[in-house]
Structure 1
Amino acid sequence: MTNKIPVTVVTGFLGSGKTTLVHHLLQNPNGKRIAVIVNEFGETGVDGEIIRASCECPEEDLVELSNGCLCCTVQEEFLPTMLTLMERKDKIDHIVIETSGLALPKPLVKAVNWPDLKPHLTVDAVVTVVDAVGVATGEICDRERVKAQREADDSLDHETPIEELFEDQLNCADMVLISKKDLVDAEKLADIQQIIQGKVRTSQVKIMPIEQGKVATEVLLGLNSQSEEDIENRHTHHDDHHHHHAHDHDHDHDHPHDHHHHDDHIQSIVVDITVPHTPETLQQALDQLVKEHTVYRIKGFIDVSGKPMRMIIQGVGDRFNKYFDRKWKAEETRKTQLVIIGEDVEALDLKAIIENHLKVCI
C-alpha cells in the first residue's frame, strides 16, 4: 500500500461544483504535489482551462481528456496517461480525477484493478459533489413529481436518467459534499441531507455541506478508502445491463466498455458567438434559450470589448454567474465561445437561436 499513489475521484452532476472544489484544492495543496486529470463532456475543455489559469501546478500535472467517457477513452488516453504519471510517481503525492458530470464513477474505480494500474494506484475516495440548489428546486431529484406519478400508476418506473445518475453517483461515494450551502436556508439544507442519507449505501459515508468549494485538504485527501477493493458492492442502475465488449489493444488484459452516460439524448455542442453582445445581453439571450429548450449546463468564455481580461460564464439551469479569470494571452484569438449541454442540442441551430435573441436584447 505504501508505494501506491492515492487517487481521489471527484464526481457529481453537471454544474455541481466539481471544478470549484478542485480549483480550491490546488490553491491550498497543504504541501502535497497533486496531479489532476479533468474529463469533460464535449470537445472544448473549459474546466481544465479554468483550473490551469488559477493554479501553479506543473503543466505535465494537469491532463485533459475530452468527450466525457473515461472508459471509452481508456486505451487511447486514460491508461497511457496514468502510466505516464506512474513514471513520475516520485514527484506526485496524490492524483485527483474530475469526471464528466454525466459519468458514473464505478467503471473508473474498477479500472484501478487492471493489472497495469493495480500495483501503482489505490482509490483514496470517491467524492460526490451535490448541488444543493439543484436538489432543493427539483432540478436533480424531484421527489414530489415522482411520488405523484407513482401514486397515479405504481406499475411505472418514473425515474429519469438524471435521477438514476444522481443515485448512482451517490451510491458509489465515500464522501458527499453538498455544495452551495450558502444558497439554501437551514431547513432546505437539512432536507437535502436527509435525501442524501437515504441514498448512500452506508451510514459511514461522510456528508458535509460546503460553499465555494472550500474543504480542508486534510479532510478531502487521505481517507484511505481503497474503494477499488469493494467496488462490486457499490451497485448502480446499469449493473444488470452494461454492454461489455473488449477493446483490442497491446495490453494483455481486457477491460470492459461500460456505458456510463445515462442518456444518449444528452449532448454537448460548442458555439462561437459572433454578433455584437455584452455580458449582460448574452446572459439575457441564454436565459431565453434555457426557457425554450432543455439545457442543463452552459459554460465558456466571453470576449468583453475594451477589457484585457477574459470573462468566464457558468450556467446551471437558469442560474448564471460571470467573473474575470485572467488576461487574454497575446497568441490567443479573443472570442466568445460557449459549451452547451442539454437534450438533443445537436439538432438545434444554437448559434442562430442565441444570436437571434441577442439581436432582440440589443
Structure 2
Amino acid sequence: MSAASIPVTVVAGFLGAGKTTLLRNLLERCEGRRLAVIVNDFGELNIDAGMIAEQTEAVYSLENGCICCSVQDDLLAQLERLANMNPPLEQVVIECSGVSDPQRIVQTLGYPKLRKRLHLDAVLTVVDAARREPLEGEYARLERMQAAAADLLLLNKCDLLDAETLAAQRERFGRGARVLETIQAQIPDELLLGESSRKLRPHGQEGVDHGDLFESWNWQGDMTFDGARLKHWLETLPRGLLRLKGLVRLAGQDGALWLQYVGGRYQFRPATDAEAAQGARLVFIAEKGGQLRAELEAGLQSCFCSS
C-alpha cells in the first residue's frame, strides 16, 4: 500500500489576530515530531518566520507576496518537496498571510501532484475579538471570508472583553463554524495534532485550564461499521463535538480507513497496512458541560453492523 497521506493544517486570520502566537504555542512543544511550517508574512521582510525559526529548523518562508496569489506556484513547489521527504513528515502547517483567502490554499491541496500525498486536516481561523475599531470595506469582507473558511474559529483575546461584548462577537463570527474562545491562542493539543497519537511536550498554559473547557475520550473495538449509517450519523453530529478522528472498518471494504471529522466536515482516507494493524479506534473532543458523551456513544453504536 502507498505511503500515508500527510495532514496539512491551515492557519488563517487577519493581521494581528494571533496566528504567529498560535504557531509558537505549537512549536514550543513539538520536540521529536516531524513537523514542517510554511510561513507567509506579507511584505518584503518576513518577520513571522524569524520569530519562530529559533524554535525549529523546519520553517519554510514564502516571501514578497500573498500566499494565495503571487507566490502560489512557490507554495505548490514547496508542498511537493515536503510531500516527498524521507523519512516522511508527520504534519505540515501553513500560516496564511493576514491578507490571504485560505480557500485558495485549500484548493491547492487538491492539485493532482499533491492530493495523494497530502490532505487537509483543518482550517483554523484566528479572529481578534478585542479589536477596538471594526474593519470596514474590503478588509471587513476579507475577514468574513477567512471566518467562513474555518473548520474551527478561534475567537482570540477573550480575556480583554466583558461578557456582553464577547457574546456579541461570538454571534457575529460564529454562525458558520465551531467557535473556541481563546486567550493567547491557546488550544488543546488534540486540536492541533492531525491524526498522530503522539503527544506534544507539556508547557505552561498561562492560567488557561483546558480541562474546564473541553473533554476528550477514546473508543476502541473490533466492530465493523455500516457505511450508510455512519455517514448519516456524521452529517447530524451536534455542534458541541469539535473533532473526531481515528481508524474504522466499513462493511464490504478491504482494509481500514482514517475517519477525520472537524467543525462539521468529515472525510475518509485509506489507511496503510501498518496503520490498520493498530486496530480500530476513535478519539472524541467536545466542549465540556454539554453532556454529549452518552449521546455520541449511543449514536456510534447505532452504526455498528449486526453480527
The answer, yes or no, to whether TM exceeds 0.5 is yes
Aligned to 1:279: none
For 1:116 and 1:19, the matched residues in 2 are separated by 29
Picking from 75, 87, 92, the partner of 2:89 is 92
Structure 2 length-normalised TM: 0.60
Q: Which amino acid aligns with 2:145?
A: D
- Distance apart, 1:111 and its partner CA: 0.7
Gaps of 5+ in 2: 195-242, 244-259, 267-307
Deviations 1:58-117 (A, max 9, x none): x2x210101342242232x21221122122153411100000000000111001111111
Aligned to 2:101: 104
Q: Which runs of 4+ in 1 moved over 4 A?
A: none
Structure 1 length-normalised TM: 0.51
1:115 aligns with 2:116: no
| 180-189 vs 27-36, which moves further | 27-36
| 111-120 vs 22-31, which moves further | 22-31
Q: How does 1:177-188 map to 2 (within 5 A)?
A: 177-188=154-165
Contact kept in structure 2, 1:29 and 1:217, CA below 8 Å: no
Higher CA-based Rg: 1
Aligned to 1:49: 50
> Residue 4 and residue 98 in structure 1: after superposition, are their counterparts in 2 closer, same or farther (change >3 A)?
same
Aligned to 1:40: 41
- Distance apart, 1:19 and its partner CA: 0.2
> Residue 209 and residue 5 in structure 1: after superposition, are their counterparts in 2 closer, same or farther (change >3 A)?
same
Contact kept in structure 1, 2:153 and 2:174, CA below 8 Å: no
1:197 aligns with 2:174: yes
1:73 aligns with 2:71: yes
Q: Which amino acid aligns with 2:179?
A: I
- Distance apart, 1:40 and its partner CA: 1.2
Q: How does 1:284-295 map to 2 (within 5 A)?
A: none
Aligned to 2:152: 175
- Distance apart, 1:27 and its partner CA: 0.7
The aligned length equals: 199
For 1:225 and 1:65, the matched residues in 2 are separated by 29
> Residue 98 and residue 89 in structure 1: after superposition, are their counterparts in 2 closer, same or farther (change >3 A)?
farther
Contact kept in structure 2, 1:7 and 1:121, CA below 8 Å: yes
Contact kept in structure 1, 2:38 and 2:95, CA below 8 Å: yes
Deviations 1:13-69 (A, max 9, x none): 00000000000011123853221000111010111100112x1x2x2x210101342
1:26 aligns with 2:27: yes
> Residue 131 and residue 215 in structure 1: after superposition, are their counterparts in 2 closer, same or farther (change >3 A)?
same
Contact kept in structure 2, 1:10 and 1:18, CA below 8 Å: yes
Aligned to 2:7: 6
For 1:211 and 1:68, the matched residues in 2 are separated by 29
SS in 2 for 1:103: coil
Contact kept in structure 2, 1:68 and 1:103, CA below 8 Å: no
Q: How does 1:239-254 map to 2 (within 5 A)?
A: none
SS in 2 for 1:90: coil
Aligned to 1:154: none
1:215 aligns with 2:187: yes
Contact kept in structure 2, 1:125 and 1:225, CA below 8 Å: no
For 1:30 and 1:133, the matched residues in 2 are separated by 32
> Residue 116 and residue 226 in structure 1: after superposition, are their counterparts in 2 closer, same or farther (change >3 A)?
farther
Which structure shows the bigger proportion of residues in helix conformation?
A: 1
> Residue 189 and residue 32 in structure 1: after superposition, are their counterparts in 2 closer, same or farther (change >3 A)?
farther
Gaps of 5+ in 1: 141-158, 231-362
Deviations 1:115-136 (A, max 9, x none): 11111111100110000112xx
Contact kept in structure 2, 1:8 and 1:123, CA below 8 Å: yes
SS in 1 for 2:186: coil
CA-atom RMSD in angstroms: 2.3
Aligned to 1:161: 138
Contact kept in structure 1, 2:3 and 2:117, CA below 8 Å: no
Contact kept in structure 2, 1:174 and 1:225, CA below 8 Å: no
1:63 aligns with 2:40: no
Picking from 133, 148, 167, the partner of 1:138 is 133
> Residue 2 and residue 219 in structure 1: after superposition, are their counterparts in 2 closer, same or farther (change >3 A)?
farther
For 1:192 and 1:64, the matched residues in 2 are separated by 33
Contact kept in structure 2, 1:39 and 1:98, CA below 8 Å: yes
Aligned to 1:125: 122
